[in-house]
């Protein structure tokens, strides 16, 4: 099923940045679910408002909750390594956010109620940024947009028909790759390298 987004018309990077700042201010005060009681702060985003790629992760961990920024610590370092090896630049190519804006207790998987509470912020981010490519990083992010019966191992690396004007792909999250050390063919790290190379090639085609 295709998801329809309300189209926020932002003509340039400054307008996008302003719209995102307004959305973040609302998010910072959010009490739509119980996670507001255990967070240090909301973790809204990192990266450029006019970035061509949006990467959507699961939820902040303790490092992200402390820093107020997604994908820091060991997971962030590993993500940066994979992006760089594929010829992608986190600073210039990406707008990064999470499905859930507050950390969950003991880093558990977010509940459906928590995901629903955060959906307006996530869909607002997509509507404002309007990236050329979205990467769904992990199962929680993937299941926000596709049937929950689908497994990440079955559809990762494939372009998904979700939006009319945005290319979407699911990839393994760096938190999983931290536990997978082999880089031999057909291992998670090998697949991720190939997936990101495919993303880089598609980005180059879209920006010609």
Q: Evaluate whether residue 89 is within a structural domain.
A: yes
In the sheet that holds 53-57, the strands lie side by side as 46-47, 94-98, 53-57, 133-137, 167-171, 159-160
Q: What is the pLDDT of residue 178?
A: 96
> Which of 1, 37, 5, 2 is closest to 120 using CA atoms?
5
> Which of 53, 202, 74, 64 is closest to 137 using CA atoms?
53
Q: What is the CATH number of the domain that holds 145?
A: 3.40.470.10
Q: How many domains does the chain have?
A: 1
Beta carbons of 117 and 32 less than 8 angstroms apart: yes
What's the whole-number mean pLDDT along residues 64-78? 95
Q: Evaluate whether residue 7 is within a structural domain.
A: no
Burial of 41 (0-12, 13-18, 19+ CB in 10 A): middle
Q: Evaluate whether residue 160 is within a structural domain.
A: yes
Q: Evaluate whether residue 2 is within a structural domain.
A: no
First-residue to last-residue Cα distance in the chain: 30
Q: Evaluate whether residue 6 is within a structural domain.
A: no
9 pLDDT exceeds 90?
no
Q: Evaluate whether residue 186 is within a structural domain.
A: yes
Q: What is the pLDDT of residue 38?
A: 92
pLDDT tens-digit readout, 159-176: 999 999 999 999 999 999
Q: What is the pLDDT of residue 4?
A: 46
**What global pTM score does this model have?**
0.94
What range does the domain containing 69 cover? 13-206
3-state SS, residue 55 = strand
> For 8-12, 55-59, 178-182, 202-206, which range has the lowest pLDDT when averaged over its residues?
8-12
Q: What is the pLDDT of residue 71?
A: 96
2 pLDDT exceeds 60?
no
Q: Evaluate whether residue 22 is within a structural domain.
A: yes
pLDDT tens-digit readout, 116-163: 999 999 999 999 999 999 999 999 999 999 999 999 999 999 999 999
Q: Evaluate whether residue 3 is within a structural domain.
A: no
């Amino acid at each position: 099923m295709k998801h329809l987004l309300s189209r926020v018309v932002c003509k340039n990077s400054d307008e996008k940045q302003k719209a995102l700042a307004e959305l973040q201010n609302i998010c910072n005060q959010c009490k739509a679910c119980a996670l507001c009681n255990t967070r240090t702060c909301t973790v809204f985003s990192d990266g450029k408002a006019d970035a061509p790629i949006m990467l959507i992760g699961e939820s902040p961990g303790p490092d992200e909750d402390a820093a107020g920024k997604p994908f820091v610590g060991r997971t962030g370092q590993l993500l940066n390594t994979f992006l760089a090896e594929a010829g992608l630049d986190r600073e210039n190519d990406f707008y990064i956010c999470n499905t859930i804006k507050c950390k969950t207790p003991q880093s558990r998987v977010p509940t459906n109620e928590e995901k629903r509470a955060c959906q307006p912020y996530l869909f607002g981010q997509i509507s404002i940024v309007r990236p050329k490519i979205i990467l769904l990083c992990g199962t929680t992010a993937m299941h926000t947009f596709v049937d929950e019966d689908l497994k990440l191992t079955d559809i990762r690396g494939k372009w998904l028909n979700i939006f009319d004007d945005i290319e979407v792909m699911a990839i393994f999250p760096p938190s999983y790759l931290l536990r997978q050390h082999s880089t031999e063919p057909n291992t998670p790290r090998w697949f991720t390298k190939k997936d990101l190379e495919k993303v880089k090639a598609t980005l180059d085609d879209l920006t010609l």
